[in-house]
Chains A and B, each alone.
Chain A
Amino acid sequence: GENVGLHLPTLSVQEGDNSIINCAYSNSASDYFIWYKQESGKGPQFIIDIRSNMDKRQGQRVTVLLNKTVKHLSLQIAATQPGDSAVYFCAEVLNTGANSKLTFGKGITLSVRP
């Protein structure tokens, strides 16, 4: 299948460990952020989102942290599993009137060692 992760930075973690994936976003006016997971040959899959009026949001096994001061977003995955292996993208949204187009950051490949 298509190698989405070609030439992307890679984070390698041991199965069962926690993973932290970092992202720097570009626009200080962005007001909504989303993390997506993309497996080879598939489209991006929604993981978790956060609005700019929050600094932390938790889901099932995942936590997103937002630091607006330094325009930094991170995704924490607890007890990483082999099925978590994929390319991860952060995306920012600048809501200007009716449009909510996504601007994606550079992806990071997460590789889970058994």
Chain B
Amino acid sequence: DTGVSQNPRHKITKRGQNVTFRCDPISEHNRLYWYRQTLGQGPEFLTYFQNEAQLEKSRLLSDRFSAERPKGSFSTLEIQRTEQGDSAMYLCASSLAGGVGQPQHFGDGTRLSIL
């Protein structure tokens, strides 16, 4: 399978703990995006990378959230001191760069549940 891969698929943790998710994009894609999705809603943009550079962060991304893409390939999203409101599906997508018309392809997400 050469699609976007995310792990773990599910994460259950206690409030206040730190969690880290990993995303492996489609190999030739230089853009990588993180989104958050809550039940009954569409995904909401969090942040995005072109190669290793983080080029935009949403206001949804509080200072407890940090994302990295150190070598321009896989990315990690860390949430520190988790809160109940962080419970959601965290989705990663990747695409090629370059002009209009490069669709983003999504992984199956990491479902985070905060106890």
Contacts and interface: CB of A to CB of B under 8 A. Distances in A.
Size category of the B interface is 20 to 34
Contact of A6 (B40, B105, B108): B40
Interface string B30-72: 0101010101111111001010000110000000000000000
Given A51-B100, A51-B101, A43 B106 contact: yes
A89 B42 contact: yes
Overall SS of chain A's interface: loop
B25 interface: no
Contact of A102 (B56, B97, B104): B104
13 contacts: A2-B111, A4-B39, A6-B40, A7-B39, A32-B100, A43-B93, A43-B107, A43-B108, A43-B109, A44-B91, A89-B43, A99-B55, A105-B42
Interface of A: 2-8, 31-32, 34, 36, 41-46, 49, 51, 89, 91, 93, 95, 98-107
